[in-house]
Amino acid sequence: MTNRKKIDTGAARLPALARVNVQDKALSNWMQAVTEHLEVRAGGRGNEFERGVTLRELVALQGSVQGVTQLLATDKTPGEGEIVIDLGGGLSATVAVERFAQSIIESRLFKSLAKTLDDPSRFDHLAQEIRDELLRSIADEAAKRGAEVRELQTVVQSNERSLAMAVREVTASLRNASAGLRATQAAFADGQRAMATNVLQLQASLGNYYQDGKPGRAMLEQEMTVLAGYSEGLRAQYTLKVQAGGALAGYGIAAEEVNGKTSSAFIIMADKFAIVSPSYNAGQMSTPRPEDVVFGVDGDGIYLQRNVYLKGNMRIDGLGKKLVDGLRGSVLLSASGSFWSDATARQAVWQALGNSGSAPNTNHLIVGDAVTITNGSSFTQTRHWMGAAWVIPAAVLNGDLLVDGTVAARKVDTRGLTVRDNAGNVILDANGLDAQWLRNLKAAQVNGLGPLATKDKARIGDTVAFPDGTTMNTSDFINRLQRITSNNIGVFMDTAAIGTAYIGQAAIGTLQIAGGSVTSMASGAGGMTTIYGDREVELCSAWVNNAAGGSGVVVIALVNAMPVNSNGSLSLTIYRGEIGLQYTGTSMPNGYRTSAHNSCFDSSPPSGWTSYRLMARAGPGETVTVFLSNIIATGGRR
């Protein structure tokens, strides 16, 4: 019998295809086409989307041949506890959520976190001398020694191994109570493996703490370790664990590279984990409120408060989906009533979801639920649930949302109806008609026009009579219809004086107001910058176009800044060009953002474009971070 074993001989390579000269033209064309097809499938030429995919590549993507089979055979509908991953090209795969959890549990970092602080195997990765030192209980040592400070140094250097270790221990004890601290630093190398570690251990012990006479202990252990080995690869890990009796908690971060494959992790292990937003009152920390616990995890689930923002897809257990609050779509319902009632609307949605009895609260509502309450005649109102209250949406319906001819006239309430022209001007409303011309208006339906209603090119007489009994010649009337200019404006108004007028938009060179004029206004802003020592830095500037004979320029500047690592100061100076106009100084406490300002009046600015700059200087030996700066300059003339 012959046993055969399949061996992976590496990726197959397409050999170079030699040119073959044949006399048959058809055969030559066929061989050229086959050559091109093979090279495209091998990825050597042509469209990259036509390249063939090998089983080796699929295994590298999925992890195993079994994974590739699942990738190709599994339907896109996810099973329980699974999500669908779109791989592109029409391919998809299902991935169990539990797989991620299993990878965490099997990681070296989690296994290290899960070991209790009395587990002797937790230091198996260290050299024997280091393990022996760390596994001695510092609380037991304290019970033997009492109050003592002890330091130990160990150095080993040979052809096989190199070791240096420094240990410092602080202990105290009295009767059944003992406590100790041990700080251990060590480095080790043997030619194939090198590592360095820094371990801090704290223990407090109280004898006869439990009913069976055993001591009660509280322990803290922090370990920082880096390792480089030919067989183990590269690894850096930090863990902090605390244990009180049987309660264990900790967190750790780790990064490693093994055979060119990199990975990293940050794991927290605790009964409860929460993120709390700091609460401030008048600039001081205050006791956090329940709503400040914005995120939390415990054995019952995950808790979120405030808003949650997602960019991407949120995937939910496929078979676990039910028509429950948060997964259903919004509803559009109606209810009977002669006035709006939140309780009526809430109950309408409650019953529409198949519930009986009265709705206990608003938890069953989702944003977008809409209810119309009507009595069929005098009252109708629709409101939408917006997350906190029922709100009238006041929606704007664009004409593109409506199909021509689908809105029945009897469904439209014309009270308050207005008709506008293309410019948005009202030409027809409940108060009358105001249009420049009317098409197909019958003269017989218009009263009061007399002959003008039926004749073409009707002439106006020599004079026109007005309701107050005065008359005006037609020539004067025509003159008044001409364009108003500076030469004839006196015909239309006395001394060209306007008592009250509204101007929608106007282009004005210089606007005179009661003998004065406004000529120019400008502003500038600066971004985040850091000022070191006693160096003066320009933060922002503004250019003002001053008119000749101007009454002056008002300049206002504002800065928001904070000193770095100490109390500090900030000097602000406003310059016109290179001339300093105004100086101010501000003291700033460490750790707080402070607003500083400066302002001045430049009474004699030059005409034309003028630059106003805001310069800042930190105190000697100080560093100040400026978050934003603004300068505003306004010039005028009298």
d(CA 226, CA 194): 8
Q: What Å distances lie between residue 515 and 43, 291, 633, 636, CA to CA?
A: 82, 59, 22, 12
Instruction: Check whether residue 250 and residue 386 sit in a common domain.
Output: no
Residue 161 shares a structural domain with residue 240:
yes
Same domain? For 114 and 92 the reply is no
Instruction: Between 367 and 55, name the one with better pLDDT.
Output: 367
For residue 443, give every residue at least 6 positions away whose Cβ sits within 8 Å of its Cβ, in sequence order, or none.
449, 453, 454
Q: Does residue 318 carry a pLDDT above 50? A: no
Over residues 17-75, the pLDDT tens digits come to 566 666 666 777 777 778 778 877 777 777 767 777 777 776 666 566 666 666 555 55
Q: Residues 616, 630: contact at Cβ < 8 Å?
A: no
Where residue 287 falls among pLDDT bands split at 50, 70, 90? confident
Instruction: Tell whether 633 is covered by a domain.
Output: yes
The residue segments making up the domain with residue 156 are: 107-270
Q: Render pLDDT for 232-241 as a digit per residue (tens, 0 to 9).
A: 899 999 999 9
pLDDT recorded at residue 515: 47
Alpha-helical runs (H) found in 288-367: 342-352
Residue 467 in any domain: the answer is yes
Residues 80 and 117 in one domain: no
Residue 279 pLDDT class (50, 70, 90 cuts): confident
Q: Are residues 97 and 124 in the same domain?
A: no
Does residue 301 belong to any structural domain of this protein?
A: no
Q: Which distant-in-sequence residues (6+ apart) come within 8 Å of 573 by Cβ? A: 536, 580, 581, 582, 583, 584, 598, 614, 615, 616, 617
- Residue with the larger pLDDT of the pair 403 and 340: 340
Within 10 Å of residue 273's Cβ, how many Cβ atoms? 14
Closest CA to 240 of 250, 248, 253: 250
136-194 pLDDT per residue, tens:
999 999 999 999 999 999 999 999 999 999 999 999 999 999 999 999 999 999 989 99
Average pLDDT of the chain is 80
Residue 6 has pLDDT above 60, yes or no: no
Q: Please tell me the total count of domains within the chain.
A: 5
pLDDT for 629 equals 93
Question: Are residue 558 and residue 570 in the same domain, yes or no?
Answer: yes
Quick one: the chain helix, strand, coil %, rounded to 5?
20, 40, 40
Characterize 467-485 residue by residue with b for buried, 16 or more Cβ atoms within 10 angstroms of its Cβ, and e for exposed: eeeeeeeeeeeeeeeeeee
- Whether pLDDT at 444 is above 60: no
Both 487 and 583 in a single domain? no
Regarding whether 255 and 111 lie in a shared domain, the answer is yes
Domain CATH number, residue 624: 2.60.120.760
Position 147 in a domain: yes
- Residues 97, 111, single domain; the answer is no
Q: 112 and 90, same structural domain?
A: no
How large is the average pLDDT for residues 6-19?
62
Whether 54 maps to a domain, the answer reads: no
Strands (E), 54-206: 82-88, 91-96, 148-157, 162-174, 177-189, 193-206
pLDDT tens per residue across span 518-566: 567 888 999 899 888 778 889 999 998 887 777 788 999 999 999 988 8
Q: Is the domain of 565 the same as that of 536? A: yes
> What's the average model confidence in pLDDT over 218-241?
94
pLDDT digits (tens, 9 = 90+) for 321-337: 444 444 677 889 999 99
Residue ending a domain, choose from 42, 77, 103 = 103
Proportion of the chain above pLDDT 90, given as a percent: 34
Check pLDDT > 80 for residue 436.
no
- Token pair in block for residue 381: 């109102």
Considering the domain boundaries, does residue 149 fall inside one?
yes
Q: Order of strands across the sheet with 432-433?
A: 419-420, 426-429, 432-433
The reply to whether 573 falls in a domain is: yes
Q: What is the pLDDT of residue 187?
A: 96
pLDDT of 73-91, one tens digit each? 555 555 555 555 555 555 5
Report whether 601 contacts 544 (CB < 8 A).
Answer: no
The answer to which of 316-325, 338-347, 409-418 has the lowest mean pLDDT is: 316-325
Higher pLDDT, 318 or 227: 227
Joined tokens for residue 343:
């309780």
Does pLDDT of 214 surpass 70?
A: yes
- CA 373 to CA 551: how far, in whole Å? 65
Asked whether residue 123 falls in the same domain as residue 83, the answer is no
Indicate whether 539 belongs to any domain: yes
The arithmetic mean of pLDDT across residues 599-622, rounded, is: 88
Task: Tokens for 545, please give them.
Answer: 């176009």
**Secondary structure letter of residue 547 according to DSSP:** P
